[in-house]
Amino acid sequence: MDTTSILSERINNLSESATLKMTKLGRELAAQGANIISLSVGEPDFNTPDHIKDAAKKALDENYTRYSPVPGYPELRKAIVKKLKEENGLDYDISQIVVSTGAKQSLSNAILCVINPGDEVIIPTPYWVSYSEMVNLAEGKSVFINTSIASDFKITPQELENAITEKTKLFMFSSPCNPTGSVYSKEELAALVDVFEKHPQIYIISDEIYEHINFKSKHESIAQFESIKDRVILINGFSKSYAMTGWRLGYLAASKEIAAANDKLQGQTTSGTCSIAQRAGIAAYEGGLESVHKMKEAFERRRSLVYDALRDIPDVKVNLPEGAFYFFPDVSAFFGRKDEDGNIIENSSDLALYLLNKAHVATVGGDSFGNNDCIRLSYAASDQQLIEALRRIKTALGKLK
């Protein structure tokens, strides 16, 4: 241990977010004049719909500028309850909803509320970069279930059963998934629920932030299964569906006990989230799904475009993701090859850096998502940018010998 450092072990042990790091590196190269195409960030390239922006402007004029209740304005929580009922068929009371400064905060709060030091948290890999770091912050222990492209990056009930020990407290996953775009069907979720029914001490964090970007069918939430619903901590937000990443607005829906714990934690840390963002959130949920569907259509078109381009690159293995806006191709065939300067590509981060420096395309190495065979490409970019980025990637990969 470095006894001269002012920094806590907690923060020293925390990794920097790989997605944010690649985005930063890309911005630095762009500032030096390079024409960088960024496929590293997880945000829609659309602007927030006008009716939502108008509600924020109105909120300012109406002086929604003071502290809001810690779990959010009652009108917003009511709109969330209505949305969960109408879109997802889920019954919640307003007291079970806690609005936060982004789904990221809800995830972190939820973990802090249920995890004691040494508790085990089962996380299927690949997972969203922050999951395991949030578990570390809470002094829990991540237990990974590895998946691969061969199973569309989904786990089986048997694999779940095998990962459970007497210390397991939590299971956390996203469907549609970041980084793979995989979507669990109702039948697949039901099979996992059969396992959870046998282990009543396990809580489930269900991250449903990509629910509207689902090309397979209607969204299925694991909270629909009454036998375990009280143990599900449902996480959602406005960032991805409504192109509102900068507004920082998310929420969780959970049992009254867990919601009250989150309220208490938030009350001692950040308090209620931005008042203007909350008023905008009400307009988002009351304004219908037209803009959401338009964005989804654009993502679906781009998905086909990128899928065809990736399949055209020799030695890249790719599956067709059913949701979100990411591809997670297996690029392990390139490991061990050399670039033109004689540097060996050892792993997925090396490959992502190579693509950034030589092809000027920012991606993210899969190792930071817990899978070193793959890289993540976000297709939240224009069609022209995607075509050009994939052309550059193909050329650059072709140069590795």
Contacts with ligand PLP, residue ranges (CB under 6 A): 42, 102-104, 128, 174, 178, 207, 209, 237, 239, 245, 250
Residue 216 tokens read as: 């397979």
Q: Minimum distance between the CB of residue 239 and ligand PLP, rounded to whole angstroms?
A: 3
Comparison of 128 and 299: residue with beta carbon closer to ligand PLP: 128
- In the bound state, the residue with its beta carbon closest to ligand PLP is 102
CB 279 within 8 A of CB 291: no
Cis preceding-peptide flag for 71 (omega within 30 of 0): no
Comparison of 250 and 329: residue with beta carbon closer to ligand PLP: 250
Comparison of 205 and 356: residue with beta carbon closer to ligand PLP: 205
DSSP string computed for 100-141: ESSHHHHHHHHHHHHPPTT-EEEEEES--THHHHHHHHTT-E
**DSSP 8-state code for residue 322:** -
Q: Minimum distance between the CB of residue 237 and ligand PLP, rounded to whole angstroms?
A: 3
Q: Minimum distance between the CB of residue 122 and ligand PLP, rounded to whole angstroms?
A: 16
Residue whose token pair is 């694991």: 222
Comparison of 221 and 332: residue with beta carbon closer to ligand PLP: 221
Q: Minimum distance between the CB of residue 183 and ligand PLP, rounded to whole angstroms?
A: 13
Q: Which residues of 17-32 are buried (b: 16+ CB within 10 A; e: fewer)?
A: bbbebbbebbeeeeee
Q: Minimum distance between the CB of residue 323 and ligand PLP, rounded to whole angstroms?
A: 11
Comparison of 223 and 397: residue with beta carbon closer to ligand PLP: 223
Q: Minimum distance between the CB of residue 401 and ligand PLP, rounded to whole angstroms?
A: 35
Comparison of 17 and 357: residue with beta carbon closer to ligand PLP: 17
Residues in Cβ contact with 303 at an 8 Å cutoff, skipping those fewer than 6 apart? 215, 320, 321, 325, 379
Residue whose token pair is 């190579």: 354
Residue 22 tokens read as: 């690649």
What 3-state DSSP class applies to 84? helix
Residue whose token pair is 């050399």: 338
**51 vs 285: CA distance, rounded Å:** 11
**360 vs 375: CA distance, rounded Å:** 15
Q: Minimum distance between the CB of residue 212 and ligand PLP, rounded to whole angstroms?
A: 13
Q: Minimum distance between the CB of residue 238 and ligand PLP, rounded to whole angstroms?
A: 7
Comparison of 209 and 345: residue with beta carbon closer to ligand PLP: 209
Comparison of 266 and 332: residue with beta carbon closer to ligand PLP: 266
Q: Minimum distance between the CB of residue 273 and ligand PLP, rounded to whole angstroms?
A: 10
Comparison of 41 and 389: residue with beta carbon closer to ligand PLP: 41
Residues in Cβ contact with 130 at an 8 Å cutoff, skipping those fewer than 6 apart? 17, 104, 107, 108
| Sheet hosting strand 232-237, strand order edge to edge | 97-100, 250-253, 232-237, 203-207, 168-174, 120-125, 141-146
